[in-house]
Amino acid sequence: MKTDLNGKVALVTGAARGIGKAIADTLAANGALVVYADISPTLEQTVADIPNGTARHLDVTDAEDIAAGIEWLVQKFGGLDILVNNAGVNTAGHRVTLEQFPREEWDWIVNTDLTGCYLVTKAAAPAIFKRGGGRIINIASVFGLVPARLQCAFAAAKAGVVNLTKAMALEFAERGVLVNAIAPGSIPIAGSRGLFSGKDPIMKGRLEGMLSHIPLHRFGKCEDIANAALFLAAPENDYITGSVVTVDGGWTAGYSRDF
Ligand X SMILES: NC(=O)c1ccc[n+]([C@@H]2O[C@H](COP(=O)([O-])OP(=O)(O)OC[C@H]3O[C@@H](n4cnc5c(N)ncnc54)[C@H](O)[C@@H]3O)[C@@H](O)[C@H]2O)c1
Q: Which of 5, 9, 60, 178 binds ligand X (CB under 6 A)?
A: 60
- Is 66 a binding residue for ligand X by CB under 6 A? The answer is no
Please calculate the CA angle 5-6-11 and round it to the nearest 5 degrees.
60
Long-range contacts of residues 67-74, Cβ cutoff 8 Å, at least 24 apart? 67/123, 69/37, 69/123, 70/11, 70/123, 70/124, 70/127, 73/9, 73/11, 73/35, 73/127, 74/127
Residue with Cβ nearer ligand X (25 or 38):
38
CB of 128 to ligand X, least distance (A): 19
| 82 vs 212: CA distance, rounded Å | 36
CB of 115 to ligand X, least distance (A): 10
- Is 56 a binding residue for ligand X by CB under 6 A? The answer is no
Annotate each residue in 177-216 with x if it binds ligand X (CB under 6 A) or - if it does not, as one string: -------x-xx-x-x-------------------------
CB of 179 to ligand X, least distance (A): 16
Q: Which of 19, 128, 152, 181 binds ligand X (CB under 6 A)?
A: 19
Cross-strand pairs, 38: 57
- Is 61 a binding residue for ligand X by CB under 6 A? The answer is yes
Residue with Cβ nearer ligand X (81 or 113):
113
Considering only 80-88, 124-132, 168-176, 234-242, which stretch makes contact with ligand X by CB under 6 A? 80-88
Considering only 37-45, 145-153, 203-211, 230-238, which stretch makes contact with ligand X by CB under 6 A? 37-45
Task: Estimate the share of the chain in helix, then strand, then coil, as percent rounded to the nearest 5.
Answer: 45, 15, 40
Closest CA to 136 of 103, 106, 93, 176: 176
- Is 155 a binding residue for ligand X by CB under 6 A? The answer is no
**Sign of torsion, CA 39 11 62 142?**
negative
- Is 40 a binding residue for ligand X by CB under 6 A? The answer is yes
Closest CA to 160 of 204, 114, 198, 122: 114
Helix or strand run (H / E) with residue 38:
strand 33-38
Write out the residues near ligand X by the rule CB under 6 A. Answer: 13-14, 16-20, 38-40, 58-61, 86-90, 112, 139, 141, 184, 186-187, 189, 191
